[in-house]
Amino acid sequence: MKQVISIILVLLIGVLIFGALYFSSDESLKFNEYGKVNLADRVSEKYIDKSVNGGSGVVEYQKSEGLESGSANYVTSIIVNYRSFDTLGEVTVLFISAFGVALLLGGKRKRQKNMFEPNFILKHGARLVFGLMVIFGVYMFSHGHLTPGGGFPGGSIIAASILLLYMADNEFRAKMKSLKATEGIAGSLYVIIGLLAVVLGGYFLANFLPTGIVGDLLSGGVIPIVYILIGLKVGSELSGIIDSFVTKEVE
Amino acid sequence: MNPALLIAVPLLAAFIAVMVMKIDKVLLSLAVLFNLVYTVYNAIIYTNPIIYTIGNFKPPFGISLVVDGYSLVGVILLNVVFALMVFLSFKLIGKYAVVLLVSLAALNGIILTGDLFNLFVFMEIGAIAAYIMTSMDKGYKHTFNYLVLGTLASGLYLFGIVIIYNLFGTLNIIDLSESIGNTVYAAMALPLIFIFVGLSVEAKLLPFSGWVKGVLKKANGLVGTLIISAYATAMLVMFGRLINSIFILSDGLKIGLTIIAVLTLTLAEAAAFSKKNLREILLFSSIAQSGLVVVLFLNGLILPAVLVLANNVISKVVLFTVSAKMAENTGSDNIYDLKGIFASYRCFGIGFTVAAMSMVGLPFFFGFVAKANALIGLLQGGNIWLPIVILLVSVVEGVYFMRILTNLWNPGEEGELAKLKDVNDFKMKKFVKLGIVSLIIGLIIIAAGILPLQNIQKYFDADFLSILSNSIGGA
Amino acid sequence: MMIQYIAILLMLVGIYGLLSQRNVIKMIVSLNIFEIGLNVFIISIGYVKDGVAPILTSVNNSSSLMFVDPLPHALVLTAIVIGVGVTALALALARKMHKKYGTYELDEMGGEA
């Protein structure tokens, strides 16, 4: 009985959504169809021209310099520069969920054993792959302003490499104290950079370092520094969550 | 005035407190004190609304924080309630100081923000902090229920925002209210329904407030006051801003929301009337007050709605903390089990009584001023049914509060009083703080009921819409 | 066009799962399906026909080309991370519930109503 009611309710909601989005007859305001979007109607046009605070012509790769947001990756410049406050909130979400998981499953912990005993090749091969994965993760978050990726996927790759070590070895435990210290220091540095910007640039989270040439590694002002901090923070938080789940309370 | 400090300082304190866990309570007290002092100082020197842009980017393209009289009053109310709650329940905090700091930052962010997606992010931070706090009493099933409902609601809210972005091309509330102007678009009906369904779960309107009973029925003083007072303030203040300043609701949508809010008001008061446990009565009364505040916002009466909200929130801090303390010490909060407890503990008995009478709305208390303003405003708008409903509901409220008070002041047979005495003789010292604070709040409630309202009228004269023309960069 | 229909269909499947299942793990999975549908829908809002990915490289080296809208990509990044945080907390709660009641079905958990 409950399933029938659920299906009817869900079908009603579906009909409502489809009708209002795709079959409405109101001519004054229409939901733009897939693909037929004019960017000039939206705020994104100024983000692409990097001319939010005043025009500066066409942006060229490896040629324009001293722009208001010097990163070549437009999505990065939105996340870390124009809408940096949302990123601060997102970092806080991960922080508070990692803290909550540690509180809920808390207490003195000891490692739960895997279901099988890993053999020699698994144990030592995993350490090789661990090194490669960490290098790849660091590459991803330090080049966040030039290539796709950035702090969040990079941090997740580092956490996945630590998960690999947990799976491949029955006695491995990451050092929780240094993980918590990394997390706390990285988070505080992000907010301190924002407060420094109040002193140096006049507004919270303004970009106060010089922004170089678009496309170089050292460009974008504060952006690479913030992405490195975010990558370290996300990596240590996700590793903390993994550790809370793989261990169990000491009897 | 730098409103970003109100959000950045508690966050910084939280990040530092997770590294050095020994000083987390010190950091919590410092951050709460800083917020309180900063908001009161800015309220005293307030002249004109300001829009603070983060990162020095012009408003529709960067995120902006809106500080006008309305949000300033909301922020003061929130920080005062939060400081009271932390002060009264300091011993219950335990290891949860970091969570309280993050939720303080999130609640301030909800009231101050000027961007729809930023509102979503701060609501999620506040919601996750609330899930962690409500698991404090080890009732995991209710927390899971709350989590599922809350996440589904936020998802629907995000869906509504994205459709609005597709229609108008911007997410900033100032830009959006300029684009919408005064016309009612038929295409806006669907996203508005989703946004308000998403927000009503947190704001405790009736069809969606199934989580409240389970979570708060056995809550201790800290968690209960957090959800009933602090979260209710932030959510309802933001709700009022969305309904009144930004979105123009079509008639059908207005009627639908009014029906939901009036149903909340009447059904929750009826439920409160039939219960016998103090905490259940108080939580149903809170749900009803949320419905009343939403009704007032829908009719455009901003000042009376904020007054009713302030009355409800401050009284509930005292009422819920006292009830939770009594339940913790005697093992039950049934009003027939607690007969005559106030006769031996007069201090917080008097505080509780003043708060209860202010909730009902008797003259000389602040609640009377709030409700009188609301009724006069509604009658001036030409509405007859709503004032009648509100008066009937107030009579029901009066009956059950009087029932609570007569039971708690008059000792019954010797038996009940004796059970109380031998538990609490050596705990008398701990109630002194609660008693004194309740007395002080009671006096403030009486004073606010007598003093005139003119000096806070100036905050409501101009809101951020009046500075639209010269703050937005051209598109 | 089809991608938006499929995204809305995924969201509806997630909502159906939440309404009709009573097993804690299945409810968490349905919540995740709902969020995936929502994220795909948000990305599909930003598509411009014949646009290129919004990164300046040595091939697309000028800002006068037609790029896809980068703002929904930023929104989705944040929404995915928030979804991960909520899922982690829900799984921790599920584990505590299993320890306390011994089962993952909400109906068998009895106790307080």
Is there a contact between B143 and C93 if contact means CB atoms under 8 Å apart? yes
Q: Where are the domains of chain B?
A: 4-467
The answer to whether B124 faces chain C, any CB pair under 8 Å, is yes
Q: Alpha-carbon distance A247 to A172, whole Å?
A: 11
Domain ranges, ordered by start, for chain A = 2-37, 70-249
pLDDT of residue B472 exceeding 50, the answer is: no
Select from C81, C87, C93 the residue whose CB has the most chain A CBs within 10 Å, as the one to mutate to test that interface: C81
Question: Across-strand partners of A35?
Answer: C48
Mutate to test the interface with C, among B117, B162, B215 (most CBs of C within 10 A): B162
pLDDT of residue B425: 41
Tens-place pLDDT, residues B53-75: 887 777 778 888 888 888 888 89
Residue C48 touches partner B, C-beta closer than 8 Å = no
Q: What is the pLDDT of residue B111?
A: 92
Reported confidence tier of residue B433, pLDDT bands at 50, 70, 90? low
Q: Is A244 on the interface with C (CB under 8 A)?
A: yes
Place C113 in a pLDDT band, splitting at 50, 70 and 90. very low
The pLDDT of residue B421 is 47
Q: Is the ipTM reported for this complex over the cut 0.85?
A: yes
Looking at chain C, which residue has its C-alpha nearest residue B218? C112
Q: Which residue of C has its CA nearest to B210?
A: C113
**Which of B327-341, B360-374, B452-466, C37-51 is most confident?**
C37-51
Name which of B74, B369, B343 is nearest B230 in CA terms.
Answer: B74
Residue showing tokens 């070590």: A165
Q: Is the pLDDT of residue B424 over 60?
A: no
| Calpha distance A50→A57 (Å, rounded) | 9
A100–B131: do the CB atoms touch at under 8 Å? yes
Name the β-bridge partners of C48: A35
Give the residue-averaged pLDDT of A237-247.
89
Average the pLDDT over B353-366 and give the result. 79
A32, A83, A86, C50: which is closest to B169 by C-alpha?
Answer: A32
**Residue A59 to residue C63: CA distance in whole angstroms:** 5
| Residues B76 and B40: beta-carbon distance below 8 Å | yes
Stronger pLDDT, A76 or A28, i.e. the higher one: A76
- Res B212: pLDDT: 85
3-state secondary structure of C102: coil
- Residue C79 pLDDT exceeds 90: yes
Ordered DSSP codes for B139-197: -HHHHHHHHHHHHHHHHHHHHHHHHHHHHHS--BHHHHHHHHTT---GGGHHHHHHHHH
Chain A CA closest to residue C18:
A6
Place of tokens 């000891």: A110
Position A19 scores a pLDDT of: 83
Residue of C nearest to B162 (CA): C42
**DSSP characters over B370-436:** HHHHHHHHHHHTT-SHHHHHHHHHHHHHHHHHHHHHHHHHS--SHHHHHHHHHHHGGGTTHHHHHHH
How far apart, in whole angstroms, are the C-alpha atoms of residue B173 and residue C66?
28
Residue A57 phi, psi (nearest 5): 80, -160
Q: Is the pLDDT assigned to residue A51 strictly greater than 80?
A: no
Compute the distance between CA of residue A153 and CA of residue A139 in angstroms, rounded to an integer: 11
**Residue A249, SS3 per DSSP:** strand
Give the range among A171-175, B170-174, C44-48 with minimum mean pLDDT.
A171-175
- How do the domains of chain C map onto residue ranges? 2-46+68-105
d(CA B347, CA B434): 8
Q: Report the gap between the CA of B170 and the closest CA in chain A (Å).
A: 6
> Do residues B120 and B154 lie in contact, with contact meaning Cβ atoms separated by under 8 Å?
yes
CA distance B124 to C35: 14
Cα–Cα–Cα angle for B128, B154, A86, nearest 5°? 70
SS3 category, A173: coil
**CB neighbours of residue C66 within 10 Å:** 12
Q: What is the spatial distance between Cα A123 and Cα A28, in angstroms, rounded to a whole number?
A: 65
Q: Distance between the two ends of chain A, CA-based, in angstroms?
A: 44
The predicted pLDDT at position C14 comes to: 93
What number of C-beta contacts closer than 8 Å exist between B and C?
69
Whether the per-residue pLDDT at A249 is higher than 80: the answer is no
For B204-232, what is the mean pLDDT? 84
B192 to chain C nearest CA, in Å?
17
C2-46+68-105: CATH number: 1.10.287.3510
- DSSP secondary structure letters along C38-100: HHHHHHHHT-BTT-B-SB--SSS-BTTS-BPPSHHHHHHHHHHHHHHHHHHHHHHHHHHHHHH
Question: Is C73 within 8 Å of C46 (Cβ atoms)?
Answer: yes
pLDDT band at C94 (very low <50, low <70, confident <90, very high): very high
Residue B312: both structure tokens together: 């409800």
Confidence of residue C16 (pLDDT cuts 50, 70, 90): very high
Min Cα distance A197 → chain B (Å) is: 8
CB contact under 8 A, C24 and B140: no
Percent of the residues in chain A that have a pLDDT greater than 70, as a whole number = 92
Buried b (16+ CB within 10 A) or exposed e, B27-43: bbbebbebbbebbeebb
Please report residues of C whose CB lies closer than 8 A to that of A163.
Answer: none
pTM of the model: 0.92
Kindly tell me if the per-residue pLDDT of A187 is higher than 50: yes
Neighbours of C, requiring at least 3 CB pairs below 8 Å, are A, B
For range A120-145, the mean pLDDT? 90
Q: How far, in whole angstroms, is CA B163 from its chain's centroid? A: 29
Contact assessment for residue B337 and residue B282, using Cβ atoms and an 8 Å cutoff: no
Residue B132 contacts C where some CB pair is shorter than 8 Å: yes
Sort out which chain B residues have CB atoms less than 8 A from C24's CB and list them.
Answer: 144
Rounded Cα distance, C82 and C86, in Å: 6
Q: Which two tokens stand for residue B449?
A: 């009921």
| Set of chain C residues whose Cβ sits within 8 Å of the Cβ of B117 | 75, 78
pLDDT in tens, A205-218: 887 887 777 777 77
* Distance spanning both ends of chain C, measured CA to CA: 45
